């Protein structure tokens, strides 16, 4: 009887377990089958692989900022290649998770290599950032590890520390995470902002096994007076044979275990150099052309660059070269020039004497002469003479910004007439060009108030259609009106957005006069939208859209319309078409 009861009980337990297993089958999990094509649809910010109901990605807006998103990966027994990483929801730019799936890895690598050589404009950079940092599957033949590394390398190379921090917050474990964290750490060390750097160690989780970051974590514990914890972690690092004599020596000294430390300066990495600088009494270091950029930056921030002997011309030359490379603050060079002593007679006759001096002394003399003269014409004369002296030694970068700033201070209107034209060319513009206020001109289609639909938020569709009908009717009556490529770029976009164009406006005939690159159209037909967007970044390059010729503007907007990348297209339209004042 007891045995029979046990059988019933055992059967009941089996039934419960089986029911639980059945219910778990409804949960979407990631389990990718080899050879399956990834087809993704995005609805209500939930993305599913249609051919595999067991694989699911959920993209959610982050709490802190609408432009940031979070991605939840439901993973059971999945491989690293199954995961995807990024910053932006692809849907926000009319893209999708498969935007790279039809493009070969080699094509992407080659395009990014070319783009790397271009100093991109603000618009080009925004487009690249959006397509590269959106969540997506990698190109054909590229592992997710490499694809993620491309993203992190781009962020590091462009010094996008804010975006790197967001990336770390939104993506828990990914390849190259140690590189991203070390960049944030080193950036703060280089700025002599150690406390802020120590805050970044929160990103160092169990997934990161990096001795550099572990060492920095130990130092931060010492700095925070948590010596017992620091000692424990140091012992663990030693057991794993990831520490070294230099680091042990410095931490033992900082912990008070030893009263002496090595006087040798270690330049192997920024952390070692920093530890050398804070533990060596009367620390002195002479940087050279071989000194790493991050060490130069730290020397600047910590005010550790000093010139004790103004007669050391080789040292001055090294510092000038470093400043020209952007490794040293230009102000330090001008401070050195002020320290070099000249007698009164030499200063009075500077214009006649400077040519007989060493190049650095010549620049110092003319710089000091510029500082003491009061007449505007004389000041400008010495400024341009200084520019020539810097240019002769290929040190233009040191002086170009200084010259621009000083000309702005004087004011173009106050310059002698003979200097005005050249001064205009020497005044530098800001990186972000302020386009100015839009001035609508209803005599020209692409400058008309139709543009309000794109420029103003929540453009009125019905009113725009009414204004469009009226304007096109007026244009059709004017036989002298020339329909330009910019006009067609606007019309093409309006058609894409659902506006009706009168039948007597022969858009197709007019558009046939302009060629759209066939190779790019072929890429669109092959569903390589992200790659075409990458090509558009190459085409726009260092220019803003308004600086491009009309035909280029037309075929770029035409391609973006074909791909339904309307948000990127709108950036181009708003820059390229309006008249501004």
- SS3 annotation, 113-165: HHHHCCCCCHHHHHHHHHHHCECCCCCECCCHHHHHHHHHHHHHHCCCHHHHH
- Whole-angstrom CA distances from 349 to 80, 211, 374 are 72, 60, 16
CA distance 473 to 451: 17
Of residues 118 and 41, more confidence is placed in 118
The pLDDT score that the predictor gives to residue 306 is 76
Percentage of residues of the chain with pLDDT beyond 70: 84
Q: In what order do the strands lie in the sheet with 69-73?
A: 40-43, 46-49, 56-61, 69-73
Residue 388 is predicted with a pLDDT of: 92
437 has pLDDT over 80: no
3-state secondary structure of 69: strand
140 backbone dihedrals φ, ψ, rounded to 5°: -60, 130
Average pLDDT over residues 379-402: 91
> With 70 as the cut, is the pLDDT of residue 369 above it?
yes
Dist CA 386 CA 381 (whole Å): 9
Cβ atoms of 279 and 261 closer than 8 Å = yes
Chain segment 46-105, per-residue pLDDT in tens: 443 433 333 445 454 444 444 444 444 433 333 444 588 999 999 988 999 999 999 999
Give the number of other Cβ atoms within 10 Å of residue 262's Cβ: 14
The number of C-alpha atoms within 13 Å of 356 and in the hemisphere containing its C-beta is 6
Is residue 136 within 8 Å of residue 84, measured between CB atoms? yes
Q: How many residues does the chain have?
A: 581
Average pLDDT over residues 242-246: 94
> What would you report as the CA-atom Rg of the chain, rounded to the nearest whole angstrom?
32
How does pLDDT run across 264-279, given as a tens digit for each residue?
Answer: 999 999 999 999 999 9
On whether the pTM is more than 0.75, the answer is no
24 pLDDT above the threshold of 90:
no
Residue 580 has pLDDT above 90, yes or no: no
Write out the two tokens for 148: 């993620």
Question: CA-CA distance, 30 to 75, in Å (whole number)?
Answer: 5
The arithmetic mean of pLDDT across residues 158-178, rounded, is 91
Which one has a higher pLDDT value, 340 or 172?
Answer: 340
> Is a pLDDT exceeding 90 seen at residue 148?
yes
User: How is residue 33 annotated by DSSP?
Assistant: P
For residues 564 and 332, give the distance between their C-alpha atoms in angstroms, rounded to a whole number: 52
Tokens 């839009």 sit on residue: 438
Tens digit of pLDDT for each residue in 490-519?
Answer: 999 999 999 999 988 888 899 999 999 999
Cβ-in-10-Å burial (0-12, 13-18, 19+) of 231 comes to middle
In Å, what is the CA distance from 366 to each residue of 39, 359, 387? 68, 11, 10
What are the residue ranges of helices labelled H in 435-506?
452-455, 461-477, 485-496
Tell me the average pLDDT of the chain: 84
Structure confidence at residue 414 as a pLDDT band (50, 70, 90): confident
* Element holding 168 (H helix, E strand): helix 161-170
Within 10 Å of residue 259's Cβ, how many Cβ atoms?
Answer: 7
């Amino acid at each position: 009887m007891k045995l029979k009861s046990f059988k019933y009980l055992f059967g009941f337990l089996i039934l419960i377990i089986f029911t639980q297993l059945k219910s778990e089958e409804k949960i979407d999990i990631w389990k990718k089958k080899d050879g399956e094509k990834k087809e993704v649809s995005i609805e209500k910010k939930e993305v599913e692989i249609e051919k595999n109901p067991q694989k699911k990605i959920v993209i959610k807006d982050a709490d802190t900022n609408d432009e940031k998103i979070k991605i939840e990966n439901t993973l059971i027994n999945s491989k690293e290649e199954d995961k995807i990483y990024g910053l932006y929801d692809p849907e926000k730019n009319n893209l999708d998770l498969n935007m790279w799936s039809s493009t070969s890895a080699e094509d992407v690598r080659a395009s990014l290599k070319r783009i790397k050589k271009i100093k991109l404009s603000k618009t080009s950079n925004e487009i690249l950032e959006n397509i590269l940092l959106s969540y997506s599957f990698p190109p054909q033949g590229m592992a997710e590890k490499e694809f993620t590394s491309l993203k992190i390398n781009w962020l590091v190379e462009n010094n996008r520390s804010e975006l790197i921090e967001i990336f770390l917050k939104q993506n828990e474990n990914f390849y190259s995470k140690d590189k991203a964290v070390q960049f944030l750490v080193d950036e703060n060390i280089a700025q002599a902002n150690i406390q802020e750097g120590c805050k970044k160690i929160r990103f160092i989780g169990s997934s990161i096994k990096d001795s550099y970051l572990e060492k920095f974590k130990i130092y931060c514990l010492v700095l925070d007076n948590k010596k017992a914890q620091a000692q424990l972690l140091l012992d663990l690092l030693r057991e794993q044979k990831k520490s070294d004599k230099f680091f042990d020596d410095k931490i033992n000294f900082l912990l008070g275990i030893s009263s002496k430390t090595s006087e040798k300066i270690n330049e192997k990495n920024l952390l070692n150099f920093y530890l050398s600088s804070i533990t060596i009494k009367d620390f002195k270091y002479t940087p050279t052309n071989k000194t790493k950029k991050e060490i130069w930056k730290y020397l600047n921030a910590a005010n550790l660059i000093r010139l004790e002997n103004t007669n050391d011309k080789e040292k001055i030359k090294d510092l000038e070269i470093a400043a020209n490379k952007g490794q040293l603050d230009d102000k330090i060079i001008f401070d050195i020039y002020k320290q070099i002593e000249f007698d009164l007679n030499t200063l009075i006759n500077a214009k006649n004497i400077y040519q007989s001096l060493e190049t650095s002394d010549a620049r110092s003399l003319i710089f000091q002469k510029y500082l003491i003269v009061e007449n505007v014409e004389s000041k400008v004369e010495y400024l341009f003479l200084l520019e020539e002296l810097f240019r002769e030694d290929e040190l233009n970068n040191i002086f170009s910004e200084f010259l621009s700033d000083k000309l702005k201070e004087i004011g173009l209107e106050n310059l002698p007439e003979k200097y005005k034209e050249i001064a205009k060319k020497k005044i530098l513009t800001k990186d972000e060009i302020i386009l100015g206020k839009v001035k609508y001109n209803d005599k020209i289609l692409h400058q008309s108030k139709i543009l309000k639909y794109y420029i103003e938020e929540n453009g009125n569709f019905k009113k725009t259609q009414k204004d469009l009908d009226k304007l096109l009717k007026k244009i059709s009556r004017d036989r002298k009106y020339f329909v330009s490529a910019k006009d067609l770029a606007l019309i093409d976009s309006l058609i894409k957005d659902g506006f009706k164009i009168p039948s007597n406006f022969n858009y197709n005939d007019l558009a046939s006069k302009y060629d759209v690159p066939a190779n790019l159209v072929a890429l669109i037909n092959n569903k390589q939208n992200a790659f075409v967007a990458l090509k558009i970044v190459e085409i726009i390059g260092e220019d803003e859209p308004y600086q491009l010729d009309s035909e280029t503007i037309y075929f770029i907007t035409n391609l973006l319309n074909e791909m339904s990348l309307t948000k990127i297209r709108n950036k181009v339209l708003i820059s390229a078409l309006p008249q501004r004042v």
